[in-house]
Amino acid sequence: MRASLVAGAVLAMSFVSAYADGYQGRYQPAYAPFSWTGLYVGVDVGGAWGDTKAIDQLATNGLPWNKLGDTFTAKTDGVTAGGTIGYNWQHSNLVFGFEGDVGYLGARGTGTSSISSDTHDRSDGGVVVTARGRLGFAFDRTLVYGTGGYIGADLRSRVFDNIGTTLHTSDAGFQSGWTVGGGIEHSFGKNWSGKVEYLYYDLGRDRVGGPCCGGGTQFFDIENTGNIVRLGLNYRFQDDYRPLK
């Protein structure tokens, strides 16, 4: 009888111990690997350089200002800074998402026509916005990605003549185009990450005009292209250490 009770007690204790082990194995906190998934905001600062091209077109009197097709270029450069918002999804090692930013693009410079030394084009920098997709590959906390999409900017690009007959065109206004580039982003701490990013942009071609030739209008086409290199700091609204259920 005593042997039977002892055997029963041992069996019961074994059952309770096995159940407890299974319960702990199922419900004790375990932590997921790092994920880039989540909403984030950030700031960035960097430098920009590029070209503002002016192309001589026919005026309303049927004549060009200097020579039809005469192209002269302002070499632009300056600082850029702004704010970013985006969202990432991670599946396995692939990360894809959307990102937008708004800021200042300091593309400033003046160029001069090789035909007439008194005819110039100029950009003075201004607001810039982008809306881009991102696709990358994650090496745990390091993300290598490509990006591309829409860019718009108002660089206040114009043409003017400061000797003899004075010409001052309107500026090109807000120009829209495309941008493509890539970068490397690394996460540190729980929610913070830093990035280095390069973007090439092309704002297309827009026409500007100014008074000339006895009440007529002189036209030039403006093309803006350039490069941006910037450093960014992002904050992601998600805890890196999420318990597995």
Supply the pLDDT for residue 214: 74
Q: Which domain holds residue 24?
A: 1-30
Q: What are phi and psi of 63, to 5 degrees?
A: -120, 150
Residues 61 and 98 in one domain: yes
Residues 152 and 225 in one domain: yes
31: pLDDT confidence band, cut at 50, 70 and 90?
low
Closest CA to 75 of 104, 113, 54, 49: 49
- CATH code, domain carrying 99: 2.40.160.20
Residue 167 lies in a domain: yes
192: pLDDT confidence band, cut at 50, 70 and 90?
very high
Residues 182 and 69 in one domain: yes
Residue 242 lies in a domain: no
Residue 130 lies in a domain: yes
Domain count of the chain? 2
Residue 28 has pLDDT above 90, yes or no: no
Cβ atoms 53, 113 nearer than 8 A: no
Indicate the pTM of the whole model.
0.82
Residues 62 and 115 in one domain: yes
Residues 21 and 121 in one domain: no
Residue 215 has pLDDT above 90, yes or no: no
Residues 6 and 82 in one domain: no
In percent, how much of the chain has pLDDT > 90?
Answer: 74
Whole-angstrom distance, CA of residue 241 vs CA of residue 181? 31
164: pLDDT confidence band, cut at 50, 70 and 90?
low
Cβ atoms 195, 185 nearer than 8 A: yes
Cβ atoms 216, 63 nearer than 8 A: no
Supply the pLDDT for residue 13: 43
Residues 2 and 82 in one domain: no
Structure tokens at 46: 């960097």
Residues 57 and 88 in one domain: yes
